[in-house]
Structure 1
């Protein structure tokens, strides 16, 4: 799929990676970008159309699908990370919140926009996943759980939407230099790099985009020896190395 001339919708677009997606889309020649967020802000570029969109609210999603009927590229970027271990006192509440955004929000957007994409020639649906879709980082276990689920949903969407010509793309990265990872000490990837590599994957027809070195390295480890990744999580936990990269 070509980015030039497309009409895109990006969720969680006001800052961080969402903002980087909007900017990368415009630079790549997108004709229009709907910038979805809970509190839409003003944008100087007339090609950007802000819309109010909380992906945990079905009414917001339905309104967006009606208002953005010309979309042929959907970027499910909105996400939340609360950094809880699986037996933390508030882990259940954290997991419920992360699942609402990272899984049910993705599913709600996909369900609402699949018919829109079909009417507009198929297009593409992009889900922002994570390297922790493949393994558990124990200090962030509830988020990992949500991203494992989001990966399964992405694979299922790819199967169901193939017949209508919609490309479903999963994007994987390590820690990204945004507010979400502000507490992380260590190497982080520039959000613009992640966005640009995702767009490259769309152009080239890839199902999966490994957007940084962390994703490449961990994917290689995952394919070669999944037990090694499980062992890494245990070591990090035993040594108390929270937010190690």
Structure 2
């Protein structure tokens, strides 16, 4: 993937991820509030793709959800001067005092394509090249669809769209459950080792049920979150 197409694809993925993160039905933004009307946390999600093997949209959403699940929000000390009505915020000196973000309701992307009338998921690069139309769905853990975006020049009738939506909903329900289970197992393992600040581990057999290309993409996609305090 080179040139203008790569830039357009990157922007499309960024817009999709930004949409679900700023949707109150998907992610509770009040978690980032420090002092209402004064200060809030500003989160930047950076995803570095080291190798493209197809199905990038879905893999990026898995990586983002995993990264957010292990994000530590530093504890703060809020001081309010009643005389001047000014609010000051200081970061706690103890690095082991922090909060965590609730990502249990955050959707993952499931992209369903159509090749010669056959619906496909987790496509390879070669399969992508012959896919005339595809739809990326945002699927919540409940299986409901909160986002939909069509890509490609091919046309789809209503029957195909409904069928593809059903496939995405069923797949998303399973993928959300597997991902959250893996996240929980990883946190328990880290806690047993006494390394609660380590990065998420993907070395457990329970993760092998996820398609191999997505596993490789999760391993090759490095998700990093930067926190910054923003004054409103």
TM-score over 0.5 (shorter chain): no
Where is the strand percentage greater, Structure 1 or Structure 2?
A: 2
**TM-score (norm: length of structure 1):** 0.29
Q: Which has the higher contact order (CA 8 A, sep 6+)?
A: 2
Where is the helix percentage greater, Structure 1 or Structure 2?
A: 1
User: If you compute each CA radius of gyration, which structure gives the higher value, 1 or 2?
Assistant: 2
**TM-score (norm: length of structure 2):** 0.30
